[in-house]
Amino acid sequence: MSTEGKKWKRTKGILWTDEIFSWIKERIPAKEHGYTSRQQMLEELNQTFNTTFTIRAFCTHCYEKGIQLGLCHSNSAITRGEKHWRHRPVGSFQEKKGYVRIKVGEPNQWMQYQRYVWEQNHPGQSAEGKTVIFMDGNNRNFEPSNLECVTRGELSVMAELGCSKECSVDERRTFLLMARIKIAKVKLFGKEYQKTRAHMLYLKVKDTPEYKAKVHAQYLKRKERYQNDPEYRKEQQNKANSYRKKHYAESPEWRERVKAKKRK
C-alpha cells in the first residue's frame, strides 16, 4: 500500500510527512551515521524541519513505519561502553529483601553473602538449588560455624516439625537432624514407610475415647446428611454400586461371598 501524499497527525500543529520519513531512512543504520542515541537524532530532525517532535512521538511513528533505529532511548551523556555512575564493582555489597548480597561478576551477577561465605569455606561444593541458613537466626552473623547448607525439602520438614525463628542454635540443629532422618527413612523404605507410619499412628489412637468420639460424630453427621439430602444419597448409592460391580468382576473371592449370601 502506497503512502505517497499521506500525512500523519498525532498532535495539534505536528505533521509527519513522507519527506520526514525519507530523511530518517537515509540515516539508517543510525550508528553508521554517527548517532549515539535517539535523542541526538531527534534534535537534528527538529532543527532540519523546524518541528517540535517529542521522543515518544518519534519512536512511535518509527515503529509504525517499521523503521529499526537500533539505538537506546537515553538522554544520558554517557556513550556506549562507558561505565555508568551507578556502576558497582565486583565485591560490592547491597541489601535486598532483608539479606546482604555481594557482587561476584559482571555485568550484574549478585549472590547472597551467606552462600558466598559457605562456598568459600567448602571448596568444591556448591549451594546452587539449596539454601544456606543461619543457625542462630541472626541474618547478619556470617561466621562459617553459624552457616548450614540445607535442601528445600529439609527446610520444609523442619517447619512442619515446629522449627521457627525463635529457636536456639541447639534446637535448630535438633530439628535439622530430625528432618534429615525422616527424609532418609522415606528414601530408604519408599511409600511403604509412609503407609506403615500412618497405620501405626492409627493403631496408637484408635482405642482412645477422643478418637472414638470424633469418629462417632462424623458418622452421625454423614447419616443425617444421607437421610435429608436426596442428591447426596443418590451419589453415595451410585458409588456403592460401582464399587460392587468393580469388585464382583475382579475378585473371585468377593463373588463367592456374594453368592453364598444369596443362597442363605
| pLDDT tens-digit map of 218-247 | 999 989 999 999 999 999 889 888 887 777
Q: What span, in angstroms and rounded, lies between the C-alpha atoms of 209 and 190?
A: 33
Mean pLDDT of the chain: 82
For the stretch 7-34, pLDDT in tens is: 444 444 457 888 888 888 888 877 777 8
212 pLDDT higher than 80: yes
CA-closest candidate to residue 126, choices 118, 135, 134, 138: 118
The dihedrals phi and psi of 133, each to the nearest 5 degrees, come to -110, 160
53 pLDDT higher than 90: no
62 pLDDT higher than 80: yes
Question: Can you tell me the mean pLDDT for 71-79?
Answer: 56
For the stretch 145-201, pLDDT in tens is: 999 999 999 999 899 888 888 889 999 999 999 999 988 887 877 767 777 778 888
For cell 561502553, the residue is 81
What was the pLDDT predicted at 27?
82
The dihedrals phi and psi of 235, each to the nearest 5 degrees, come to -65, -45
Q: Contact at 8 Å (CB) between 180 and 154?
A: yes
What was the pLDDT predicted at 73?
52
Q: What span, in angstroms and rounded, lies between the C-alpha atoms of 160 and 81?
A: 51
What was the pLDDT predicted at 120?
93
Q: Contact at 8 Å (CB) between 157 and 182?
A: yes
The dihedrals phi and psi of 224, each to the nearest 5 degrees, come to -65, -40
Q: What span, in angstroms and rounded, lies between the C-alpha atoms of 245 and 82?
A: 78
For the stretch 39-50, pLDDT in tens is: 888 888 888 888
263 pLDDT higher than 80: no
pTM summary value: 0.48
